[in-house]
Amino acid sequence: MRDRKTAHIPLIANGKTPLERAVAAKLIGDMNLLRLKASARFLARGLAPDIYWWDLLQEAFARVLNGSRRCPPDVPIDVFMTGVMRSIRAEHWRRRWQLEVSKFLSGDELRDPAPDPERAVVAQQELEAIKDLFADDPIVTHIITGLADGLSADEIRTKYGLSSTEYDSARKRMRRALLRDGIGSKVK
C-alpha cells in the first residue's frame, strides 16, 4: 500500500490538480464551478488557518477521481460534490479535536471521549457567525434557527407565523446572499 504522502501524487501528474482534471474532462462547467466555489467557501467557515475552501474542493475532486466516492446517476453533480465536501469537513473537524484531546487522553478514553465543552462553544460560535450574515433579515434568521432546531419547513412556518410566500422569498434571499458571499473576490 502506498503511504498517504504519495497516494495522491498521480492526481497532480502533468501539473494538473484534481479540479483542473475534472474541468478538462468536462465533468463540470462554469456554472457548476461557481456553485461549488460558493459551497466550498461556506463549508470552510471556521476551518482556517489549517484548511482553506480550495482544500475542500480539491480534495473532494481527488476522491471522486481516485474512485473512493462515486456519484449516483440520479444525483446532480453539485449536490453530490457538496455532500463530499461536507463529509470531508466533518472528518477534519473530528480529527482536529481528536488530535487536541489526544494530548490529554489515551486508550479507551481517546476512543470514546466525553463531550468536549470547548468544541461545543466553537460550534455555537460558528452557528452565530452564520446567523450574523443575515443579521438584517429576521425571517432568514428565524429559518436558520428553525433548521438548527431540526424543524421542517412547515414547522418553521408555523412557529414563526410565516406564509409560504414569505418563507420561499426568504429562502431565495438566503441563497442569493450565500452565493454572493461565496463567489465574491476575497481569497480566503
Using CB under 8 A, which residues numbered 38 to 67 contact another protein? 38-39, 42-43, 50-59, 62-63
Cα-based angle 27, 31, 35 (whole degrees, multiple of 5): 95
Shortest Å distance, C-beta 124 to another protein: 4
Q: Are 146 and 155 in contact (CB under 8 A)?
A: yes
Footprint on residues 82-121 left by another protein (CB under 8 A): 82, 85-86, 88-92, 94-95, 98-99, 102, 115, 119-121
Enter the DSSP assignment of 181. H
d(CA 14, CA 110): 41
Q: Does 156 bind another protein (CB under 8 A)?
A: no
CB of 93 to another protein, least distance (A): 8
Instruction: For another protein, give the closer residue by CB, 147 or 158.
Output: 147
Residue closer to another protein, measured from CB, 85 or 139: 85
Provide CB contacts within 8 A for 103, sequence distance 6+.
none
Q: Give the HSE-up count for residue 124: Cα atoms under 13 Å, Cβ half-sphere.
A: 6
Residues touching another protein, count (CB under 8 A): 81
Q: Is 138 in the site for another protein (CB under 8 A)?
A: no
User: What distance in Å separates the CA atoms of residue 60 and residue 55, rounded to the nearest whole number?
Assistant: 8
81 part of the interface to another protein, by CB under 8 A: yes
Q: How far is CA 90 from CA 46, 69, 85, in A?
A: 12, 16, 9
Comparison of 159 and 172: residue with beta carbon closer to another protein: 172
Binding test (CB under 8 A) with another protein, winner from 24, 159, 164, 172: 172
